[in-house]
């Protein structure tokens, strides 16, 4: 059965890391909204041009355009064995559109839960390369990619992080409630080592797929 996974989680939960790791382990594509937006814009598709027009004004891409770009991406042959969605859906409207794209019973939704204080500590201690944007591991003092100096992003200050988390919770709670009562929804503890979280996600997916065959 194809593995079709949606990974949800707040900033700092390790969502991107876990999505990438799961996709690599399963040999399926990780579909990041940022990546597919850039691909669509670079390819100059009608949807890509529409997205660029919005992005150039500094606004967020709306549900209709985002849904169309994801739908376009899911028609490519590399998703036949499955995929991992990272950053989509973000709204109930996007989740409803995704249900129309694929059979909702084949979609596994995993939410990574981490206490707020842990998220604040993670994000406020995070450093990135001021030149290329590479995210450094704790204790690293220079960029491993280009050797550039590491800086703290303005939005990684503790007070800003707490506001980001408040906005995230407000905006995504309806999405969590949309999925929570499904038999294919699972939550995992993100306040563990990266390997332990990865093992829990793999076990959650296996449990869901084992029950839907």
Task: Write out the catalytic residue numbers.
Answer: 15, 90, 126, 153, 164
Rounded to whole angstroms, how far apart are CA atoms 190 and 201?
Answer: 10
* Tokens representing residue 11 in the block: 């900033």
Closest CA to 29 of 101, 83, 87: 83
Residue by residue, DSSP assigns 118-182 as HHHHHHHT--EETTT-PBPPTT--B-TTT-PBEE--GGGSHHHHHHHHHHHHHHHHHHHHHHHTS
Closest CA to 83 of 194, 192, 2: 2
What interhelical angle do 158-180 and 92-101 show, nearest 10? 40
CB of 69 closer than 8 Å to CB of 147: no
- Characterize the bridge pairing of strands 107-113 and 82-86: unpaired
Q: What share of the chain is helix, strand, coil (3-state, %, to 5)?
A: 55, 15, 30
CB of 22 closer than 8 Å to CB of 198: yes
């Amino acid at each position: 059965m194809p593995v079709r996974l949606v990974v949800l989680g707040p900033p700092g939960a390790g969502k991107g890391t876990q999505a990438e790791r799961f996709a690599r382990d399963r040999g399926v594509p990780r579909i990041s909204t940022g990546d597919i937006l850039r691909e669509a814009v670079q390819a100059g598709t009608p949807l890509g041009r529409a997205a660029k027009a919005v992005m150039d004004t500094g606004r967020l891409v709306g549900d209709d355009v985002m849904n169309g770009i994801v739908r376009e991406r899911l028609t490519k042959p590399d998703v036949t064995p499955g995929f991992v969605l990272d950053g989509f859906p973000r709204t109930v409207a996007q989740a409803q559109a995704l249900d129309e794209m694929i059979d909702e019973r084949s979609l596994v939704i995993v939410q990574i839960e981490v206490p707020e204080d842990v998220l604040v500590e993670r994000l406020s201690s995070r450093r990135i390369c001021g030149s290329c944007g590479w995210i450094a591991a704790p204790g690293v003092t220079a960029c491993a990619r280009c050797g550039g100096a590491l800086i703290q992003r303005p939005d990684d200050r503790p007070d800003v992080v707490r506001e980001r988390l408040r906005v995230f919770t407000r905006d995504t709670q309806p999405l969590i409630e949309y999925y929570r009562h499904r038999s294919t929804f699972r939550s995992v503890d993100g306040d563990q080592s990266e390997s332990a979280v990865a093992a829990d996600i793999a076990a959650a997916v296996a449990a869901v797929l084992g029950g839907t065959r």
